[in-house]
Amino acid sequence: MRLSKFISDCGIASRRKAEDIIRSGRIKVNNNVVLDPSVDIDYKKDVVLLDDVRIKEDIKFVYIALNKPVQYISDLKDDKRRKIARNLIDVEGKLFPVGRLDYNSEGLILFTNDGEFANIIMHPRYEIEKEYYVKVKGRLEREDIMRLRKGILIDGSLCRAERVEFLRSSLKNNWYSFIVKEGKNRMIRNMCIAIHHPVLKLVRVRIGNIKLGRLEPGQYRFLTEKEVSQIKAKRI
């Protein structure tokens, strides 16, 4: 973590003011004066002093589940002036999205300030399942489902679903549950285009043990300690 970010996260000052404090020579790391705000520290091991008084770690991690509506972007900034999902969360402080959910998709997306938690969910090594309810044009035949599970080569990358199960019919179209362990951009949409059953609607309902539940579009909640600890247990 950058030194200036650590000082800011501890509530000493804003990021910009923290940089000024560091450049003024008032900060020591392991009893050595540090003048560069971009220096990386390990806040769990390094001792940081302000005017010879130790800055105690006071970083409060926040974990939020949001039901992202359609026509909101997951990114924190947008040059096209589209609506930003982060603005639906009335919680102060810096939060970043854990992965993405594309503009025309809706459902569960997580926001946090805990990089370790985010890495566990996003890194393929931990194989965190993501479940989607997907409405496709027409009906998937057995051969289509087998192709999705075997994997489809898209832009030189093999994309596959762990499971695909029928949910219900909707006029001439049908809903399916897709479970994947990857997070490639628009992966399910591209896979369905490849088998000639384009996606008409896509809702993410689960990430690992964290479920969308009864959250309405635009609503959010804080994760429980149990939900967070079960994700972090994956790292052990």
Residues with a catalytic annotation lie at 102
Exposure on the CB side of residue 105, measured as CA atoms within 13 A: 22
Residue carrying structure tokens 């997951």:
74
CA 25, CA 191: separation in Å to the nearest integer? 56
CA 203, CA 68: separation in Å to the nearest integer? 9
Strands 130-136 and 152-154: unpaired
Tell me the Cα Rg of the chain. Answer: 22
Quickly count: other Cβ atoms within 10 Å of residue 144's Cβ.
20
For residue 200, give the 3-state DSSP assignment: strand
Tell which residue, 116, 236, 134, has the closest CA to residue 195.
134
Residue type for position 51: D
CA 112, CA 119: separation in Å to the nearest integer? 11
User: Alpha helices, DSSP H only, in the chain?
Assistant: 3-9, 15-23, 115-122, 142-150, 187-194, 225-232
Kindly state the tokens that stand for 208.
Answer: 């690992």
Tell which residue, 80, 83, 180, 56, has the closest CA to residue 128.
180
